[in-house]
Amino acid sequence: MIEMQAGSLLSGMYATRVQTQFQAQETKQSRRKGKRKMGDGKAKYFKGDEFFKLAQEDEQRQREEEAGKEQRKVARDAHSIRLAEWKKENEEIRRRNEEKRQEMAIDVAAWELEKQEAKQEKRKVGWEKPKWKDYGPEKLLARPTKADKEDDDSDEESANESDVVD
């Protein structure tokens, strides 16, 4: 009895595994971009209408692929432009922050000197040690992603739709 249950369990596991492999194989074949108008490549007899329909579908698919390639190229170019602008803006922010750091270093050195003098004179320093946050450091901008442009477009569209009054 136990052997029969074990056998049916193993058989079920095998069937599940084979089914998933078969589904994966079918999806892989469906994703493959075939260049053949006939489909599977086997010899077939076509009437003129059938072949014409297949040829039209093939041309339509090729046009869609070309349009998709062009759209991806435009999106890639736009993204590279956004990245270049982002890099330039971040370099400016870094440069300004570096100037602020140098100014802070000078102020900290002056404070340290004042602290030494106050220690020798046995008194308190008249002012607090400068802190980085007091110099108003700028945060770097987030790197733009390819999805940012799509989000910006949808935000603009939704903003335009909300402006419309019925």
What is the tens place of the pLDDT at every residue in 50-68? 778 888 888 999 999 999 9
pTM for the full model?
Answer: 0.53
pLDDT at 151 over 90: no
CA atoms within 13 A on the CB side of 166: 2
Is 104 in contact with 137 (CB distance < 8 Å)?
A: no
Is 104 in contact with 132 (CB distance < 8 Å)?
A: yes
Q: Which residues of 90-128 are buried (b: 16+ CB within 10 A; e: fewer)?
A: eeeeeeebeebeeebeeeeeebeeeeeeeeeeeeeeeee
At residue 143, the pLDDT reads 92
1 or 87, which is more confident: 87
pLDDT at 76 over 50: yes
